[in-house]
């Protein structure tokens, strides 16, 4: 178990550094007037999540531990947006339309609302 957690932590550290590096590079090229770094990271994360998922399902015989390390470790640290999109696309694939739309609405709507509440509570402190 400790070895799995160590690999997961290492993959998470690499995902964090990749996110930081890519965001910084994009901001250096495009400036900071719009959050292009985050946009690029989230879209790249979705591309990579789809690619890894497909390869793990169809081409590469990897253990469940390896999937966890790559998807939850690296990709989870790189962007959680990709996980939300991956889960929503699976709901659409299963024709769970209401659940798919609810997932998008809840995560985006409540995420913004929770951010507002957090900002408000932080200002009151």
pTM of the model: 0.74
Q: What is the pLDDT of residues 22-40, one digit of tens each?
A: 999 999 999 988 888 988 9
Spatial CA neighbour of 54 closest among 63, 39, 67: 67
Residues of each annotated binding site: 76, 79
Query: Residues at the annotated binding site for Na(+)?
Result: 76, 79
The domain limits of the chain are 1-124
Residues 77, 16: contact at Cβ < 8 Å?
A: yes
Residue-wise pLDDT tens digits, 95-114? 999 999 998 999 888 888 98
Q: What is the pLDDT of residues 72-83, one digit of tens each?
A: 899 989 987 877
Task: Evaluate if residue 14 carries a pLDDT over 90.
Answer: yes
- Quickly state the pLDDT bin for 125 (edges 50, 70, 90): low
């Amino acid at each position: 178990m400790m070895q799995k957690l160590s690999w997961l932590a290492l993959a998470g550290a690499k995902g964090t550094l990749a996110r930081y590096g890519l965001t910084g590079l994009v901001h250096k090229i495009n400036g900071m007037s719009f959050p292009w770094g985050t946009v690029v990271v989230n879209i790249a994360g979705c591309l990579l999540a789809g690619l890894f998922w497909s390869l793990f399902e169809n081409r590469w015989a990897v253990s469940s531990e390896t999937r966890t390390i790559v998807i939850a470790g690296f990709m989870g640290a790189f962007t959680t947006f990709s996980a939300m999109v991956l889960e929503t696309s699976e709901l659409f694939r299963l024709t769970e339309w209401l659940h798919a739309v609810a997932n998008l609405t809840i995560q985006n709507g409540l995420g913004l609302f929770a951010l507002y509440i957090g900002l408000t509570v932080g200002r009151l402190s």
